[in-house]
Amino acid sequence: MVAGVSVLAKCRVCGRRAVYWVPWANTWFCKEHFVEYFKRRVIRTYEKYFPKNHERILVAVSGGKDSVALLHSLTPHLLDKGLKVSALFIDLGIKNYSQKAYRIVYENTHKLGIPLIVTRLADHGFTIDYVAYLVVKRIIRRPVCSICGLVKRYLMNKTAVEKGFDLILTGHTLNDALAFATQNIYSGNIYDLVKLKPYIPGRDGLVARGKPLLFVYEAETKWFVEAVEAPVLDVKCPHTPRTESIIIHVKKSLEELDEKHPGYMSMAMKNIVDKLIPLLEEKLPKPRLVKCRICGMPSSTDPCGFCRLKIRISKYRLGRISS
Ligand code: SF4
Ligand code: ZN
Ligand code: ZN
Protein backbone atom coordinates (compact mmCIF):
# COMPACT_ATOMS: atom_id res chain seq x y z
CA MET A 1 0.00 0.00 0.00
CA VAL A 2 1.39 3.32 -1.00
CA ALA A 3 0.93 6.83 0.30
CA GLY A 4 3.24 9.75 0.06
CA VAL A 5 3.87 13.12 -1.41
CA SER A 6 4.65 13.05 -5.08
CA VAL A 7 6.52 15.92 -6.67
CA LEU A 8 4.97 15.31 -10.07
CA ALA A 9 1.60 13.63 -9.56
CA LYS A 10 -1.54 15.73 -9.73
CA CYS A 11 -4.88 15.25 -8.00
CA ARG A 12 -7.37 13.64 -10.38
CA VAL A 13 -10.11 16.01 -9.25
CA CYS A 14 -8.52 19.45 -9.06
CA GLY A 15 -5.10 19.06 -10.70
CA ARG A 16 -3.24 20.42 -7.66
CA ARG A 17 -0.21 18.63 -6.22
CA ALA A 18 -1.28 15.14 -5.09
CA VAL A 19 -0.54 13.73 -1.65
CA TYR A 20 -2.24 10.33 -1.59
CA TRP A 21 -1.86 7.49 -4.06
CA VAL A 22 -4.78 5.08 -3.72
CA PRO A 23 -3.75 1.95 -5.64
CA TRP A 24 -7.19 0.24 -5.61
CA ALA A 25 -8.73 3.37 -7.11
CA ASN A 26 -5.68 3.82 -9.40
CA THR A 27 -5.82 7.49 -8.45
CA TRP A 28 -3.82 10.34 -6.96
CA PHE A 29 -5.64 12.77 -4.65
CA CYS A 30 -4.76 16.00 -2.90
CA LYS A 31 -5.61 16.04 0.81
CA GLU A 32 -9.00 17.72 0.35
CA HIS A 33 -10.16 15.37 -2.38
CA PHE A 34 -8.90 12.27 -0.57
CA VAL A 35 -11.07 13.30 2.41
CA GLU A 36 -14.02 13.78 0.06
CA TYR A 37 -13.39 10.37 -1.62
CA PHE A 38 -13.17 8.61 1.77
CA LYS A 39 -16.35 10.18 3.13
CA ARG A 40 -18.22 9.40 -0.08
CA ARG A 41 -17.33 5.70 0.18
CA VAL A 42 -18.42 5.45 3.82
CA ILE A 43 -21.67 7.30 3.16
CA ARG A 44 -22.32 5.11 0.10
CA THR A 45 -22.07 1.94 2.23
CA TYR A 46 -24.42 3.46 4.80
CA GLU A 47 -26.97 4.56 2.22
CA LYS A 48 -26.84 1.27 0.29
CA TYR A 49 -27.04 -1.25 3.13
CA PHE A 50 -28.75 0.48 6.06
CA PRO A 51 -32.54 0.83 6.30
CA LYS A 52 -33.83 4.36 6.80
CA ASN A 53 -35.88 3.69 9.94
CA HIS A 54 -33.08 4.29 12.46
CA GLU A 55 -33.22 7.51 14.46
CA ARG A 56 -30.88 7.22 17.45
CA ILE A 57 -27.40 6.04 16.61
CA LEU A 58 -24.60 5.04 18.98
CA VAL A 59 -21.07 5.04 17.52
CA ALA A 60 -18.64 2.87 19.50
CA VAL A 61 -15.28 4.66 19.64
CA SER A 62 -12.13 3.12 21.13
CA GLY A 63 -9.75 5.97 20.26
CA GLY A 64 -8.01 3.89 17.56
CA LYS A 65 -7.75 5.20 14.00
CA ASP A 66 -10.62 3.11 12.59
CA SER A 67 -13.37 4.15 15.01
CA VAL A 68 -12.14 7.76 14.99
CA ALA A 69 -12.27 7.73 11.16
CA LEU A 70 -15.82 6.37 11.33
CA LEU A 71 -16.87 9.12 13.72
CA HIS A 72 -15.46 11.94 11.56
CA SER A 73 -16.54 10.57 8.19
CA LEU A 74 -20.14 9.56 8.91
CA THR A 75 -21.40 11.64 11.85
CA PRO A 76 -21.81 14.94 9.93
CA HIS A 77 -23.88 13.09 7.29
CA LEU A 78 -26.10 11.46 9.94
CA LEU A 79 -26.62 14.78 11.73
CA ASP A 80 -27.50 16.46 8.42
CA LYS A 81 -30.21 13.82 7.99
CA GLY A 82 -31.68 14.90 11.35
CA LEU A 83 -30.61 11.72 13.18
CA LYS A 84 -29.45 11.73 16.81
CA VAL A 85 -25.85 10.56 17.19
CA SER A 86 -23.86 9.86 20.36
CA ALA A 87 -20.48 8.23 20.85
CA LEU A 88 -19.87 5.39 23.28
CA PHE A 89 -16.56 4.80 25.04
CA ILE A 90 -16.14 1.58 27.03
CA ASP A 91 -13.59 1.99 29.83
CA LEU A 92 -12.12 -1.50 30.09
CA GLY A 93 -9.91 -0.65 33.07
CA ILE A 94 -6.58 -1.25 31.33
CA LYS A 95 -3.70 0.53 33.09
CA ASN A 96 -1.72 3.04 31.01
CA TYR A 97 -4.22 2.62 28.19
CA SER A 98 -7.89 3.18 29.04
CA GLN A 99 -7.40 6.69 30.44
CA LYS A 100 -5.38 7.77 27.39
CA ALA A 101 -8.02 6.26 25.11
CA TYR A 102 -10.77 8.12 26.97
CA ARG A 103 -9.01 11.48 26.50
CA ILE A 104 -8.62 10.84 22.76
CA VAL A 105 -12.29 9.93 22.39
CA TYR A 106 -13.32 12.95 24.44
CA GLU A 107 -11.23 15.30 22.23
CA ASN A 108 -12.80 13.89 19.06
CA THR A 109 -16.39 14.07 20.27
CA HIS A 110 -15.76 17.57 21.61
CA LYS A 111 -14.38 18.63 18.22
CA LEU A 112 -17.50 17.26 16.48
CA GLY A 113 -19.88 18.53 19.16
CA ILE A 114 -21.55 15.19 19.82
CA PRO A 115 -22.48 13.70 23.23
CA LEU A 116 -20.18 11.07 24.72
CA ILE A 117 -21.48 8.20 26.84
CA VAL A 118 -18.92 6.39 29.01
CA THR A 119 -19.54 2.86 30.30
CA ARG A 120 -17.10 1.46 32.89
CA LEU A 121 -16.43 -2.25 33.14
CA ALA A 122 -15.23 -1.62 36.73
CA ASP A 123 -18.85 -0.78 37.61
CA HIS A 124 -19.58 -4.48 36.99
CA GLY A 125 -16.93 -5.53 39.51
CA PHE A 126 -13.87 -6.32 37.39
CA THR A 127 -11.53 -4.98 34.70
CA ILE A 128 -9.72 -6.43 31.70
CA ASP A 129 -6.45 -6.16 33.66
CA TYR A 130 -8.03 -8.43 36.28
CA VAL A 131 -9.22 -10.83 33.56
CA ALA A 132 -5.61 -10.94 32.25
CA TYR A 133 -4.42 -11.85 35.76
CA LEU A 134 -7.01 -14.65 35.95
CA VAL A 135 -5.97 -15.93 32.51
CA VAL A 136 -2.34 -16.17 33.70
CA LYS A 137 -3.57 -18.05 36.81
CA ARG A 138 -5.62 -20.33 34.52
CA ILE A 139 -8.84 -19.45 36.34
CA ILE A 140 -10.15 -18.21 33.00
CA ARG A 141 -9.23 -20.49 30.11
CA ARG A 142 -9.87 -18.20 27.17
CA PRO A 143 -7.53 -15.59 25.65
CA VAL A 144 -7.88 -12.10 27.16
CA CYS A 145 -8.91 -10.61 23.80
CA SER A 146 -11.70 -13.15 23.43
CA ILE A 147 -13.11 -12.13 26.84
CA CYS A 148 -12.57 -8.47 25.96
CA GLY A 149 -14.62 -8.96 22.77
CA LEU A 150 -17.46 -10.59 24.73
CA VAL A 151 -17.41 -7.74 27.28
CA LYS A 152 -17.45 -5.04 24.59
CA ARG A 153 -20.33 -6.63 22.66
CA TYR A 154 -22.32 -7.05 25.87
CA LEU A 155 -21.76 -3.50 27.15
CA MET A 156 -22.46 -1.96 23.74
CA ASN A 157 -25.83 -3.69 23.52
CA LYS A 158 -26.75 -3.09 27.17
CA THR A 159 -25.93 0.63 26.90
CA ALA A 160 -27.86 0.97 23.64
CA VAL A 161 -30.93 -0.77 25.13
CA GLU A 162 -30.85 1.24 28.36
CA LYS A 163 -30.34 4.59 26.62
CA GLY A 164 -32.84 3.97 23.83
CA PHE A 165 -30.52 3.74 20.78
CA ASP A 166 -31.75 1.71 17.82
CA LEU A 167 -28.47 1.25 15.91
CA ILE A 168 -24.87 0.63 17.01
CA LEU A 169 -22.03 1.44 14.60
CA THR A 170 -18.51 0.03 14.91
CA GLY A 171 -15.30 0.81 13.03
CA HIS A 172 -14.46 -2.65 11.63
CA THR A 173 -12.46 -2.21 8.42
CA LEU A 174 -11.94 -4.34 5.33
CA ASN A 175 -8.57 -5.90 6.27
CA ASP A 176 -9.75 -7.48 9.54
CA ALA A 177 -13.23 -8.33 8.27
CA LEU A 178 -11.96 -10.11 5.15
CA ALA A 179 -9.35 -12.03 7.16
CA PHE A 180 -12.14 -13.21 9.53
CA ALA A 181 -14.42 -14.04 6.60
CA THR A 182 -11.66 -16.06 4.90
CA GLN A 183 -10.81 -17.88 8.11
CA ASN A 184 -14.50 -18.63 8.74
CA ILE A 185 -14.89 -20.02 5.21
CA TYR A 186 -11.81 -22.25 5.62
CA SER A 187 -12.90 -23.49 9.04
CA GLY A 188 -16.57 -23.93 8.04
CA ASN A 189 -17.75 -21.48 10.68
CA ILE A 190 -20.78 -20.38 8.72
CA TYR A 191 -22.67 -18.71 11.60
CA ASP A 192 -19.82 -16.26 12.20
CA LEU A 193 -19.38 -15.70 8.47
CA VAL A 194 -22.95 -14.44 7.98
CA LYS A 195 -22.39 -11.80 10.68
CA LEU A 196 -19.74 -10.16 8.49
CA LYS A 197 -22.06 -7.88 6.61
CA PRO A 198 -22.45 -4.11 6.76
CA TYR A 199 -25.82 -4.24 8.54
CA ILE A 200 -27.41 -6.75 10.93
CA PRO A 201 -31.02 -6.00 11.92
CA GLY A 202 -31.96 -5.98 15.61
CA ARG A 203 -34.11 -8.72 17.14
CA ASP A 204 -35.25 -10.03 20.53
CA GLY A 205 -33.43 -7.35 22.55
CA LEU A 206 -30.34 -7.28 20.33
CA VAL A 207 -29.93 -3.78 18.92
CA ALA A 208 -29.22 -3.47 15.16
CA ARG A 209 -25.51 -3.20 14.32
CA GLY A 210 -23.56 -1.83 11.41
CA LYS A 211 -20.04 -1.62 10.02
CA PRO A 212 -19.97 1.30 7.58
CA LEU A 213 -16.18 0.91 7.05
CA LEU A 214 -16.49 -2.68 5.85
CA PHE A 215 -15.20 -1.85 2.34
CA VAL A 216 -12.57 0.64 3.48
CA TYR A 217 -8.91 -0.37 3.67
CA GLU A 218 -7.08 0.04 6.98
CA ALA A 219 -4.48 2.20 5.23
CA GLU A 220 -7.22 4.60 4.16
CA THR A 221 -8.44 5.16 7.72
CA LYS A 222 -4.84 6.02 8.68
CA TRP A 223 -4.56 8.58 5.85
CA PHE A 224 -8.02 9.96 6.62
CA VAL A 225 -7.36 10.67 10.32
CA GLU A 226 -4.04 12.28 9.33
CA ALA A 227 -5.74 14.40 6.68
CA VAL A 228 -8.52 15.67 8.99
CA GLU A 229 -6.01 16.02 11.86
CA ALA A 230 -8.10 13.93 14.24
CA PRO A 231 -6.31 12.84 17.43
CA VAL A 232 -5.86 9.06 17.66
CA LEU A 233 -4.45 6.74 20.29
CA ASP A 234 -0.73 6.17 19.78
CA VAL A 235 -0.19 3.42 22.35
CA LYS A 236 -0.96 -0.28 22.01
CA CYS A 237 -3.07 -2.16 24.50
CA PRO A 238 -0.65 -4.03 26.84
CA HIS A 239 -2.71 -7.20 26.31
CA THR A 240 -2.16 -7.26 22.52
CA PRO A 241 -1.11 -10.87 21.79
CA ARG A 242 2.64 -11.26 21.32
CA THR A 243 2.43 -14.26 19.03
CA GLU A 244 0.81 -14.04 15.62
CA SER A 245 -2.40 -16.02 15.30
CA ILE A 246 -3.56 -17.76 12.09
CA ILE A 247 -5.90 -14.86 11.43
CA ILE A 248 -2.97 -12.40 11.39
CA HIS A 249 -1.16 -14.63 8.87
CA VAL A 250 -4.31 -14.79 6.73
CA LYS A 251 -4.61 -11.00 6.91
CA LYS A 252 -0.98 -10.50 5.84
CA SER A 253 -1.39 -12.91 2.91
CA LEU A 254 -4.49 -11.04 1.74
CA GLU A 255 -2.65 -7.71 2.00
CA GLU A 256 0.27 -9.09 -0.04
CA LEU A 257 -2.16 -10.30 -2.67
CA ASP A 258 -3.81 -6.89 -2.76
CA GLU A 259 -0.46 -5.19 -3.25
CA LYS A 260 0.06 -7.31 -6.37
CA HIS A 261 -3.55 -6.99 -7.51
CA PRO A 262 -4.92 -3.69 -6.13
CA GLY A 263 -8.60 -3.87 -5.26
CA TYR A 264 -8.62 -7.66 -4.76
CA MET A 265 -9.65 -7.44 -1.08
CA SER A 266 -12.46 -5.02 -1.66
CA MET A 267 -13.79 -7.10 -4.58
CA ALA A 268 -13.67 -10.26 -2.43
CA MET A 269 -15.54 -8.58 0.45
CA LYS A 270 -18.23 -7.27 -1.91
CA ASN A 271 -18.76 -10.74 -3.38
CA ILE A 272 -18.96 -12.30 0.07
CA VAL A 273 -21.47 -9.67 1.24
CA ASP A 274 -23.61 -9.41 -1.91
CA LYS A 275 -23.52 -13.01 -3.19
CA LEU A 276 -22.31 -15.57 -0.65
CA ILE A 277 -23.92 -14.38 2.61
CA PRO A 278 -27.46 -13.96 1.16
CA LEU A 279 -27.31 -17.54 -0.17
CA LEU A 280 -26.12 -18.89 3.19
CA GLU A 281 -28.75 -16.91 5.09
CA GLU A 282 -31.52 -18.54 3.08
CA LYS A 283 -30.37 -21.98 4.24
CA LEU A 284 -29.44 -21.23 7.85
CA PRO A 285 -31.95 -21.18 10.69
CA LYS A 286 -31.65 -18.05 12.86
CA PRO A 287 -29.70 -18.87 16.05
CA ARG A 288 -32.07 -19.14 19.01
CA LEU A 289 -31.88 -16.29 21.52
CA VAL A 290 -33.00 -16.51 25.14
CA LYS A 291 -33.28 -13.92 27.88
CA CYS A 292 -30.51 -14.22 30.49
CA ARG A 293 -32.21 -15.04 33.80
CA ILE A 294 -29.71 -12.82 35.66
CA CYS A 295 -29.37 -9.64 33.62
CA GLY A 296 -32.28 -9.97 31.17
CA MET A 297 -30.07 -9.38 28.11
CA PRO A 298 -30.50 -11.57 25.00
CA SER A 299 -28.05 -14.43 24.66
CA SER A 300 -27.57 -17.83 23.05
CA THR A 301 -27.02 -19.28 26.55
CA ASP A 302 -28.70 -18.81 29.93
CA PRO A 303 -27.03 -17.29 31.93
CA CYS A 304 -25.35 -15.17 29.27
CA GLY A 305 -21.56 -15.25 28.73
CA PHE A 306 -21.07 -11.98 30.63
CA CYS A 307 -22.99 -13.19 33.71
CA ARG A 308 -21.18 -16.55 33.62
CA LEU A 309 -17.88 -14.65 33.61
CA LYS A 310 -19.01 -12.57 36.59
CA ILE A 311 -20.05 -15.73 38.45
CA ARG A 312 -16.65 -17.35 37.82
CA ILE A 313 -14.82 -14.24 39.04
CA SER A 314 -16.90 -14.03 42.23
CA LYS A 315 -16.43 -17.77 42.91
CA TYR A 316 -12.66 -17.25 42.64
CA ARG A 317 -12.82 -14.28 45.00
CA LEU A 318 -14.78 -16.35 47.50
CA GLY A 319 -12.13 -19.06 47.31
CA ARG A 320 -14.51 -21.58 45.69
CA ILE A 321 -12.17 -22.18 42.73
CA SER A 322 -8.41 -22.14 42.65
CA SER A 323 -5.72 -22.37 40.00
FE1 SF4 B 1 -9.14 -5.84 24.37
FE2 SF4 B 1 -7.24 -7.43 23.35
FE3 SF4 B 1 -7.87 -5.14 22.14
FE4 SF4 B 1 -6.60 -5.10 24.49
S5 SF4 B 1 -5.79 -5.93 22.55
S6 SF4 B 1 -8.35 -3.81 23.89
S7 SF4 B 1 -7.51 -6.85 25.50
S8 SF4 B 1 -9.21 -6.91 22.39
ZN1 ZN C 1 -7.73 17.79 -5.38
ZN1 ZN D 1 -26.62 -12.01 31.76
pLDDT tens readout for residues 114-166: 999 999 999 999 999 999 999 999 999 999 999 999 999 999 999 999 999 99
From the CA of 37, how far away is ligand 1's center (Å)? Answer: 31
pLDDT tens sequence across 77-124: 999 999 999 999 999 999 999 999 999 999 999 999 999 999 999 999
Give the separation between CA 211 and CA 199, rounded to whole angstroms: 7
The reported pTM is: 0.95
Contacts of 207 (CB under 8 A, 6+ apart): 58, 156, 157, 160, 161, 165, 166, 167, 168
For ligand 1, atom 2, the nearest C-alpha belongs to 145
Identify the CATH homologous superfamily for domain 55-287: HUPs (3.40.50.620)
Whether the CB of 148 sits within 6 Å of ligand 1: yes
Whether the CB of 240 sits within 6 Å of ligand 1: yes
Contacts of 203 (CB under 8 A, 6+ apart): 286, 289
Whether the CB of 152 sits within 6 Å of ligand 1: no
Whether the CB of 239 sits within 6 Å of ligand 1: yes
Give the separation between CA 14 and CA 31, rounded to whole angstroms: 11
Give the separation between CA 164 and CA 61, rounded to whole angstroms: 18
Give the separation between CA 272 and CA 278, rounded to whole angstroms: 9
Domain positions in the chain: 55-287
pLDDT tens sequence across 231-245: 999 999 999 998 888
The residue that leads in pLDDT, 6 or 282, is 282
Q: What is the pLDDT of residue 5?
A: 52
